[in-house]
Amino acid sequence: MLRHRPPLVSEVKRAFESVQDRMVSRQLAEMPTTALKQTTANRVRFKSLSEARCETVEDVLRVGPAALGRVNGISETTARQLFAAAQQLRQAVRDDLRFRIDLDRSNTLVTRLLTLLYLLRRYDRVLEGRGQDLQDALTLLQPFGTVPSEVTQLSLLGGSNPTKTLMEVRATASEIDQGGLMHLLTQVSPRADAAPAPDKVWDDFERDSAGYYTTLGQIVGLDLGEEAAAGNLPAEIVAAVHAQPLDEVLLEGKVSLRGYQSFGARYALVQRRTLLGDEMGLGKTVQSIAVMAHLSGGDAKHHLVVCPASVLVNWTSEVHRHSALRAFLVHGSDRERTWRTWQRRGGVAVTTFGTLPLLPPAPERLPLVVVDEAHYLKNPQTQRARALLPLVRRAERVLFLTGTPLENRLDEFQQLVSYLQPEVARRLAQVDGVASSRRYRAELAPVYLRRNQEDVLQELPDLVVTPEWGSFTPRQMPAYRAAVAARNFMRMRRVAFIEQPTHSEKLARLQEIAKDAAANGRKVIVFSYFRDVLHEVAEVLGDRVVGPLTGSVPATKRQAIIDEFARAGTDAVLLSQITAGGTGMNMQAGSVVVICEPQVKPSLETQAIARAHRMGQLRGVQVHRLLTTDSVDQRMVEILNEKQRLFDEYARGSEVAASSSEAVDVSEKKLAAEVVDLEMERLAVTRAEQIAAEQDDEETRT
């Protein structure tokens, strides 16, 4: 088991080099031989090369110097110079190559590379955290490993006390088996039939392409250069950041940081009070968690995250998902008890701007305060700012997060900087941020770091899918409970938007996504199964909306809506029913996709995302799945994920099933019944409630 990984890594390197060679060859095949003119000092008769059917740089490399020397008008010396120049150009192309995997399932070289990465990722996932178990197993097996090969099993047991020896063998085997190591061995054993089906590999890559690129980057190095990862900061700050160690023990087995993410975490540690302004989709949350994990490795145990309510649940789930830290959701009626538990135990307290003023005093020592969507603090006179700023001032470290580009809000940034590093803010006040932008950025360097996707992600276009978990508000819960009691599955799915929309966390989060996207010059596509949900979205987004594209729009007019969206400004938002716009249409003008609720058929989501994430898309596509915790959404996600897992495990034998994205779809009636039953049990709905709700539902329909 332990010896299996190094050769697998070597195979990944060889497969990567093969793919890279093919990419370089394709570029050279598009370069005419005249590209070598300057290097060969015009001593080559390129017309003669063309007549010899040697028209590209790739042809020169393929033919070789000996054959080139036989071309009429080209001497052996010139042929060698020509070939050497082509080799130099090939190396230059390789050095500048932006490695990116196109979604071409017919490419056998890329499929081979992805398959090896799939196996390596599975190997690491299976062995995650089992190092001590393996060492214990080696200790148990050591006596059997030293038996000479000529000694038979019978003679081994035939010592002075064969019964005792047999018992020891059985005890050892039992201990290994009970520890799960035999199952572990089976999962990662390099058997001939262990390779997954190509479609399964490609599906997995499309679900988590960032994870594949991260694994590959750790083996072959895919960073676009230190300057981009460092956000073009001054050399002295970059040197200090590189000298800062990062303790990742509490991240191990949970997340692997990209190079720029590691730099961002170390920048926050070195500069202590900073604003991380990375473009949306680059993992500001993960970088913040890495800072907390590092500090928790020492004696810093209490970290506080303050964020909008719309991302509250997402923060706690991300802390659990990416680290071994404990996260405490400090919100709602239980907030004070949870707050006190956090103070006793330590960990990460996550609360909202609105809840913070209602809480008891924070611990005297606060190693780190993280403020998400920090632009909420731009006005120091607001209640949220008055509650939070005293904690910001006395915290040992502060990390503000915002995806809004600096150039859009100079005055707001100066206000935020004044909270973090007042001396930097005073210097900024003396600089014209528009006329002297270079000096302004230089002054801002000690406090502000921003990277764009194009600068740090070599593999663009990428697909980043983010689950955005929120909650029902107290005003929405009665309506949801009534929908469950009435067994109204469709209404259960819509409550988060259509009941008390002014208090909807989903709508609030959607507005934030649209605002951030517009600030970054990205258009948005919003998909929902329901027309009344799209109506509520249109109400809050106003004039930016294009559409909606619904089933009632004639097919002949649908393309006109798509064309209007392509021509619209960078703040445009296209609204579409997922059944109307999810298939057969090119929506690549949009690069931010919002899916308002989970779909009964997962293939609907896949097809909808594919309208934007497709060949020819120049920007990485960000997908936000709006979900409500403890609701129909969570039940659907759990059930459909389990069905996907079972399908992957047992249904691979059918080539037709494995090649169909609809193979894991389930009937709406069956899924609805299962979800409703689970929710009725969870909410302990009484028979009286059911009767009343069914009557109300019937009257409403009438």
Mean pLDDT by 10 residues, the chain (702 residues): 82 94 90 75 68 84 86 80 86 82 86 93 75 70 63 54 72 71 65 75 81 84 68 88 92 81 94 89 89 93 90 86 93 93 95 93 94 88 92 95 65 86 89 67 88 70 85 93 94 95 94 93 94 96 93 79 90 93 71 94 80 65 94 92 57 35 60 92 90 79 66
**pLDDT for residue 659:** 38
**pLDDT for residue 564:** 93
463: amino acid identity, one letter? L
**pLDDT for residue 533:** 96
Instruction: Identify the DSSP state of 328.
Output: E
Tokens for 27?
A: 């570029």
CATH architecture label of 223-456 = 3-Layer(aba) Sandwich (3.40)
- What is the pTM (predicted TM-score) of this model? 0.62
| Cα dihedral: 222, 223, 225, 230 (round 10) | 180
- Which residue has tokens 């932008």? 437
**pLDDT for residue 647:** 44
Q: Give pLDDT tens digits for 449-506.
A: 988 766 776 665 678 889 999 999 999 999 999 999 999 999 999 999 999 999 999 9
Of 64, 71, 67, the C-alpha closest to 44 is 71
**For 5-96, which CATH superfamily applies?**
5' to 3' exonuclease, C-terminal subdomain (1.10.150.20)
Fold of 463-701: Rossmann fold (3.40.50)
Domain ranges of the chain: 5-96, 108-205, 223-456, 463-701
Per the DSSP assignment, residues forming a β-bridge with 482 are none
SS3 content of the chain, % helix, strand, coil (to 5): 60, 10, 35
Instruction: Identify the DSSP state of 560.
Output: H
**pLDDT for residue 462:** 72
Tell me the C-alpha distance between 165 and 329, whole Å: 54
**pLDDT for residue 546:** 94
Tell me the C-alpha distance between 37 and 34, whole Å: 5
CB of 437 closer than 8 Å to CB of 296: no
Strands (E), 153-298: 273-276
Q: Please determine whether the domains at 5-96 and 223-456 fall in the same fold group of CATH.
A: no
